[in-house]
Structure 1
Amino acid sequence: MGKSKVTMALLLLTLMLNSNCANSEELSSVPDEKSNEAELNQVLDLEEFKQQLQEISTVAPAASSNQLNGRVKTLSTKYLLSPGDSIAVSVYGEPEFSQASVLVRPDGYATIEPFGEMYVAGSDVNDLTTELKARFKSYLLDPKISVKVNSMHTAKVYIYGAVQKPGLYQQERVTARDGSTGTTAIVTPELTVASVISNAGGIKYNADLRQVKVTNNATGRNEVLDLMNLIENGDASQDIYLRSGDTVYIPTLESNAQIADRDFMLVASSSLAPADFPVRVIGAVNRPGIHKLTSGSPRLNSAIAASEGYMPEANQKVVTIQRVTPQGNVSTFYVDPNKNDLILRPNDIVVVADKSTSVASRGFDFAGTIITPFGRFADSFNSWAEMFNPSRRYRRW
């Protein structure tokens, strides 16, 4: 009898072990939110991927607040649900609660059974999984929930105002590969104000970055951002996430001459600025003409170097810089480049005269009269013949 009880106990133990093994195998086939997150983060070749992303993505990843000045952009793999997305909700062992396709509607809501309408826009997959687990505990003892994104919408935003290339920009998905394991993941770069400005070619230098306006077309709500605070102090709250249909407006200052050199250099060194800007160099240089200066080094001696240096007869101790404002006024600076490597602004005119004072004066007058695009000085001369009349008195500005 005792031996029979022992045999029965061993048999029951074997059955229990087999049952546990079977359950373990079945549970391992259910996607877990942690494993999903780990899979999405399989992006180890980040430096290579960032380079590819700049080439193939319409909207690049946002610049982090503490890295704007170095033109370094960061990549986030946390995807936030948005209208137009399709998701699948799986409840292990409860097919009546599972849904293969749930659409996030334009109002941000989705119909998820048995709860009905749930606002899911702005949540990531893990957030939604956690919320569904909590809700399903009213129905199931130990709910096993999996949420995945079937397809993602294409977000579109419009930017206009003081940017290089205003227009409509859309967010696109890219595929990242883990170089060590060969696994791939679909990544959607975050859509922020800074990322859209960057992909619009950067700001114009007369942009008023303290009054950037974002309008949500769905609600009509306006939000005013101070992007100078983002650049100066790293206030990431100013670089908000955008939603499809948002419009971004960057107003214009009255004149870029109102921007102090310190602020100009801060902006020029940030990822919000264009990569370069034009200046014109004329006079006694080896290659006069329009040259592009990199935004990180917009100085007088850089412009001289871009012009392949001075000619032998150049007056290297006094160089003239003429700056035309949008109102048509001209500011003139006389600079010794050896003592003051002046910060230049877009469309500045650099005049390098020769060592003859009279010719230098003529060069200053010619630059101010012919190069300005605003027509303020069109009536300064009655004819081309008068312009080049050697007997005409030339003025120094």
Structure 2
Amino acid sequence: MLNTGSLKFLTQPAVGAALLTAVHLIVPSASIAQGQPTSSTQLTVFPNLQTVPASRAQVFPNTQTVPPASQPVSPQIQQPDTNYLLGGGDLIRVNVFEVPEYTGEYQIPPGGAINLPLIGSVTVQGLTTEQAADIITERYRRFLKRPQISINLLSPRPINILVAGEVTRPGSYTLSLQGGAGNNPGVQYPTVLAALTTAQGVTLAADVTKVQLRRKTARSGEQLVTLNLKDIIQTGNTAQDITLRDGDVIVVPTATTFNVAEARNLFAANFAASPTAPRTVAVIGEVYRPGSYIVTAGGTEGGGGLPNVSRAIQLAGGITSQADIRNIKLRRPTRAGTEQTVDINLWQLLQSGDVNQDVIVQDGDTIVIPTATEISPAEATQLATTTLSPARIQVGVVGEVKRPGPVDLQPNSSLNQALLAAGGFNDARARKGVVELVRLNPNGSVTKREVKVDLSQGINEQTNPILRNNDVVLVNRSTLARTGDGLNIIAGPLGIVVNLLRLFGF
């Protein structure tokens, strides 16, 4: 209930106008982010005014809640202070009403102080145009009876910002304004997305749901706003793309977890790093040519497409027969000095078509292909026909075969297939029961072992192992062939006679 005195007080015209002015000041100004209304901007109008929590607020009877006129902004968006703060480089017009000789245009110098008639130097650095006008008004009161001062921003200075964190090129940037200002109100300030694009896009290690915008406010410190740029990708909500002010700092944090599906969506965003930019990636482990490679989108190797893990593996010569494609690791350095580890299962890609497993790579990534602890012959045969394996491998088959020399085989081919590709055993001279398998290991060592050959067996490690690129299969002479060759050497000129005796069965 309002008492009579209070009621009479409120009915006074001057008091009513003051209250209307106060209410007008409390209403937040429209957001600069595509004209959306703010949801959390607060202006303190009266000193010592406390905010009453909603749970304790007094409820008046016969009152109704009026719905907002437009769709409110997502509640997690906190709109920054949109006031323009004057600084060095701005062109302003100081209007002194009814004293035109004191009116003039001024380019604010780097120090932020302008020199005005009668009152001399006035610092306007870091002030809004309204705050600067109030200060100048107070200074002119010494010389003018009722000074009325206004300030117009004719041409704002370029926007100097800092972009840090998970972007391709962190650093300071100067962004130009589009359009005009003052008499030409069509000026357009650059936005957060424009700044990220200028910094060559966010990296794939970024957490775009917690991008921070730090902004200096007029003589009251710094305001921190958290932006969810993922909302732009999913819903097109451009309210997150806030326009910038001079001195703004944008920080893109590093993601604490990695989601393969979201990373692919981020790669396609217009504020991500260029999809065609070359990326230097190291591929180590069970590939035929471990090393560092430049991976790009498109091209001829791998049939074109995205700069992903499978493309990097193809550049490294493809996987070996010992590769474990279920437990591939991708190690990714971050701007924070840490390292992200991404688990990749390319077998899932081959079986179910989960393309998200084929992770997009970025500059500095390392792909580790581990060695399988157990190899399934059926899986090895299937992998040989995929693009993860090289098109062909080459092994050497030497000794007592019909066509000794290098043999081109499909990846993951077996020893029996190599023997048949070389024409099979030289029946009269070959030792058919056992051959020697010579292998050059990745660490530079050479191993040699005997394999008991059984042409009737399928792939198995004991009698018909899977061959690797550059393996050598040595088919030795039989005992009879070695004896005959020895007799030829011993007989010398009589070798022809010995051979004739053998021919006729003597």
If the length of structure 2 is used for normalisation, what is the TM-score?
A: 0.39
- Structure with higher Rg: it is 2
Greater helix fraction, Structure 1 or Structure 2: 1
Q: Which has the higher contact order (CA 8 A, sep 6+)?
A: 1
